[in-house]
Amino acid sequence: MKMVVLLVVLATTLAKGSTEIVYLPSLSEIVVKEDTLGPEWKRIDGLVIPFFKDLSGLDEESRNQALLLRDRFLSKGVNGVADFSFSKRKFPLDTATCRIFVFASPGHARKWWEQKYEFPGWEEKYEKHPHPNGFYLDSKSESNPKRIMLLSNLMISSHHIQPGDEHLALLKAILEELRRYGVSESG
């Protein structure tokens, strides 16, 4: 039986004199139930890399994929990633995906967020919503909906390749799992 590791670290930001919460969820222990999106959907096992600096717990295929990604992600302060996806069992093809990026610090997460999502003209593609522990963006595209959340040192993206809100149901399930590890949307 694997031991579930929960670490919530208080990181002091000396320059600002404030304390920030850093979440370190055990990505390999997150469970998304097969019936999360209902009987028309099936879960697809995605790549889960709990910690780029230690790939010893991964199978050979996952380790090879992680090695291809490791330098790029570590250089951006990403310690681990996980992909949770579901596909529709019948035509038309449809997929809902949720990805979790665990950064070394909230500052690393904010920096990547700013580079990736706060480009000139971003307001034309996304609508920004604040919440007590960060904020999230919703895409304005109805044909390819997306929500991206920034929660301290976690960035979570959920998207859907067809119109609909199944990506939000998957995101809700992921957030419920993350609550087991102390992650809170409310601060």
pLDDT tens readout for residues 159-184: 999 999 999 999 999 999 998 878 87
Alpha carbon 6 to its chain centroid, in Å, reads 17
Sign of CA dihedral 114, 49, 181, 32: positive
Q: Alpha-carbon dihedral of residues 61, 176, 12, 153, nearest 10 degrees?
A: 40
Q: Express each pLDDT in 81-111 by its tens digit.
A: 999 999 999 998 899 999 999 999 999 999 9
**In 10 A of CB 134, how many CB atoms?**
20
Residue 159 or residue 9, greater confidence: 159
Q: Which two tokens stand for residue 20?
A: 């920030």
Predicted structure pTM score = 0.86
